[in-house]
Amino acid sequence: MSKIGLCTISELSVEKFNSSHTEIRKFEIPSYQRGYRWTDIQVNALLNDVYNFHESRTDAQAKYCLQPIVVTRAVDGVSWEVIDGQQRLTTLWLILNYLNEEDIFNLSFESRKDITKFMNELVSTQEYHHDTPELHFLSEAYRCINAWFKKQKETVRGIKRLMGNTLINEVNIIWYDIESSDRKKNITVFNNLNDGKIPLTDAELVKALILSKLKGKYEGRELEMRKAEIMASWCKMESELRRPDKWNFLVGADKKDYSSRIELLFDLIAENLTDKDNYTTFLWFERQIAENKGKDDHIRLEAENAESIWKLIENAFAIVNSWFCESDATAQPVIYHYVGYLLARNHKKIDELFRKASTMGKKEFTDYLKRAIKETIPAGDKLDELSYEKNPSDVQNVLLLFNVLTCLEIAKGPYNRFPFDRYREIMLEKGNSWSLEHVHAQNSDDPIKNEEAARSWINDVLLALKGVDTIYIDIDEEQAEAQSITQIMKELSAMSEFSNIDMEKFNGLRMNLQDIFYSKSIHDLCNLALISKKDNSALNKSIFPVKRAKIIALEKAGKFIPPCTKNVFFKFYSHSANQPYYWSIEDQANYFNELKRVIKQFLA
């Protein structure tokens, strides 16, 4: 079983065997490790970090934490085999010996006995050697340490005293004892850590911390069973959070990089979602478990704290999982759609929703979500005033909410739920985002100058309007007139056969056809739909029938087209079975009236 905890450099340096017997701790660098390789970049970074911590801290009890060292008791039963952390330990040894600090841990090298002798001579004589790569890097590291102290504003004696006290008493290191006497296993751990296959993340450290403290409450078989129960539950939570539909519902583009998804729960509990520093979440958990350290029965109290922490983790998972899987499978998944909308549009952060859900009942939380959504959209009687040019963000809010509420109206259990995971995938995709699509294209007077682009435009039109002779276009809200497109289509068809296209004539025909499909309400909500930026680019200001054909092709290709956008181009909101090639005033009115009905019903 692994042991994990925090210790100062002072505690790291001295091993306490009992109340009256202490010895300087001995570390051994095993033969399977490579030599010392830190450069002045890493050495300066360590010194600067420690110094800046001392200068900027406001809490006298604050500690600066270094990354973990992974150790196990060596075969001799006295010294410690360093599996990971050689570079940090060696650099600390050089700095502390430069500062003439006493009672510093001993460092030896299993297969390179001469290195220990060289390091002692380096400190005492400052004679640098570059005969081997390791001697070179050690020499340059010590030279860098010397130069750093001489460059500081304080006197050398003053800065040495300050840094010595800070390093010894105010710097913590994470101690991770894997308790293994199997050299092959230790080599595997070393290789995996250094290959990045199993980095020591907050998840790994918290797991080891909880499991290592349980023996204060359980023993023997009971201890092993409890550990197995926790690990089974841990794996289940990790597996559920690795579901793409669930993870992308919960976490957006501003997420941390989590190697273990369960770390999201830890960050929510520790209120540490935005802090990207290494191990800050683990340190929070370690403080909670060790808060009674020093009391006579602190081992039992730490075990009880570890159990309490585990219950917090299970409860955190239950909360966020309930948003995705509401308990009543026969009811509409209201919380799923409300939370999904707020997170997808970044109106609320997951940590804020988590805190609210932790203190509210289901109805109270649902009412809170609804109020939060209402704050993101205009009043129902203001929808007519929204436009692409004036309120693009408000338009996106309204259109996404229209899609979400449309799904919610017909959703039962897992069916017809809005797919927030696919919505989020668009946002996470490089070079992509969500945009507003004009159902009727914006009328562009800019001529197409490239002949290849002209041929593509002609082919799209001929395919979309194949067999169509007449388009019934709006005169006003009550009348439509037949507009023949036969002649334009014939000329375009003939033009597609020419080896060279008369670009001036082509652009004239293009403008004539565009004028037929032009809409006066071009930027109003009744002519706007939600679509991804890349798919919007593919539509490329095409006329309505071409856009409709391309939307169908994108849907067949598996692209995510929001449900209400599909409804628009499939004429779902039209009351009469009119032609599918023209987006009429009546179509626009029907679409807008349905949108207004759904939004106003929600706002009521």
DSSP string, 422-466: HHHHHHHSTT--EEEEESSPP---PPP--HHHHHHHHHHHHHHTT
DSSP-based three-state secondary structure for 579? coil
56: enclosing H helix or E strand: helix 40-56
Q: Greater confidence, 19 or 421? A: 421
Give which of 579, 357, 378 is closest to 471, Cα–Cα.
Answer: 579
Query: Which two tokens mark 567?
Result: 């409804």
Q: What is the pLDDT of residue 589?
A: 86
pLDDT tens for 63-91 read 788 888 999 998 888 899 999 899 999 99
Q: What is the pLDDT of residue 457?
A: 83
For residue 182, what pLDDT band results from cuts at 50, 70 and 90? confident
Report whether 406 contacts 568 (CB < 8 A).
no
Q: What is the mean pLDDT of residues 1-5?
A: 70
Q: What is the mean pLDDT of residues 432-452?
A: 80
DSSP-based three-state secondary structure for 356? helix
Q: What is the mean pLDDT of residues 209-225?
A: 87
Q: Is the pLDDT of residue 364 over 90?
A: yes
Beta bridge pairs of residue 482:
472
Query: Which two tokens mark 384?
Result: 């007519």
Q: What is the pLDDT of residue 92?
A: 96
**Polymer length in residues for the chain:** 604
Distance between CA atoms of 279 and 65, rounded to whole angstroms? 8
Give which of 535, 589, 541 is closest to 565, Cα–Cα.
Answer: 535
The DSSP secondary-structure symbol of 415 reads B
Q: Is the pLDDT of residue 486 over 70?
A: yes
For residue 1, what pLDDT band results from cuts at 50, 70 and 90? very low
Query: Which two tokens mark 354?
Result: 């988590």
Q: What is the pLDDT of residue 90?
A: 96
Give which of 404, 455, 443, 426 is closest to 554, Cα–Cα.
Answer: 426
Q: What is the mean pLDDT of residues 404-424?
A: 84
Largest CA distance in the chain: 105
Distance between CA atoms of 343 and 364, rounded to whole angstroms? 19
Q: What is the mean pLDDT of residues 304-329?
A: 89
pLDDT tens for 367-379 read 999 999 999 998 7
Q: pTM (2 decimals)?
A: 0.77
Distance between CA atoms of 343 and 337, rounded to whole angstroms? 10
Sign (positive or negative) of CA dihedral 394, 395, 398, 403:
negative
Give which of 557, 583, 585, 589 is closest to 570, Cα–Cα.
Answer: 583
Q: Is the pLDDT of residue 199 over 60?
A: no
Q: What is the mean pLDDT of residues 575-601?
A: 83
Q: What is the pLDDT of residue 256?
A: 65
Q: Is the pLDDT of residue 546 over 60?
A: yes
Q: What is the pLDDT of residue 251?
A: 86
For residue 29, what pLDDT band results from cuts at 50, 70 and 90? very high
Sign (positive or negative) of CA dihedral 160, 161, 163, 169:
positive
Q: What is the pLDDT of residue 412?
A: 65
Q: Greater confidence, 59 or 427? A: 427
Q: How far is CA 562 from CA 80, 243, 388, 529, in A?
A: 60, 21, 18, 9
Beta bridge pairs of residue 50:
none
Q: What is the mean pLDDT of residues 353-373?
A: 96
